[in-house]
Structure 1
């Protein structure tokens, strides 16, 4: 289900670049809508399974923090360590995520907010057997 949203989003973006055959004189950049990183992230994040229901505001707080930690050289394990690490595991007062869903949310956030870090995160998760 999570990948359905990403697939639909990718298809929409691909179709936005197709010509309609009209004589519109607008440039392609001005005629195709740009999807914000927040919208991309929240759209994909809504397909992830949670124990409870996080608010959009709670979800939006995470990616900038993850990106900052990754850019500072921290690992996913450090970020998700709640007992001395980064304490950036996706959990709220009334919601939480299982580790596979937390990993998926992290990847969605990283791909939307700091895509240059996505390959390193994917490699780390695969290396640890968690993705």
Structure 2
């Protein structure tokens, strides 16, 4: 009797189409839309509506010159202070142009946006340095 029940159960499962051919292991993941680090950075900056650039601000090309250089400086062991120091022994990477400037609070915010998009592994350290200096 048990054997008959087992055979009937297997037959029912086969007729119902139960199989593992549609398992999740065989399914292909749906494609993800990836956003470039440049696009992520520019979107963050554009939505921030920084006070510094209300009248005149940098072009996207001018802005995009900074994030990778900031990340390179951080990877070399330099501090945020060093990155933004314009003269002497500094990186000279304060976001400023010939016809536009940036308030320090906005420069710090843009730095955080750039680090978040380009080298997020440095984000916690950058925020910690800015908080320690009282600038964030």
Alignment TM-score > 0.5, same fold:
yes
1:102 and 2:131 matched: no
Q: How does 1:27-66 map to 2 (within 5 A)?
A: 27-28=29-30, 30=31, 32-46=32-46, 47=48, 48-51=50-53, 52-66=56-70
The structure with the largest alpha-carbon Rg is: 2
Which consecutive unaligned segments of at least 5 residues does structure 2 have?
1-26
Output the CA distance in 2 between the equivalents of 1:113 and 1:96. 22
1:115 corresponds to: 120
TM-score, normalising length: structure 1: 0.76
Aligned match of 1:76 = 80
TM-score (norm 2): 0.73
Structure 1 segments of 4+ aligned residues over 3 angstroms from their partners: none
Computed over aligned residues only, the root mean square deviation of the Cα atoms, in angstroms, reads 1.3
| 2:92 aligned counterpart, secondary structure | coil
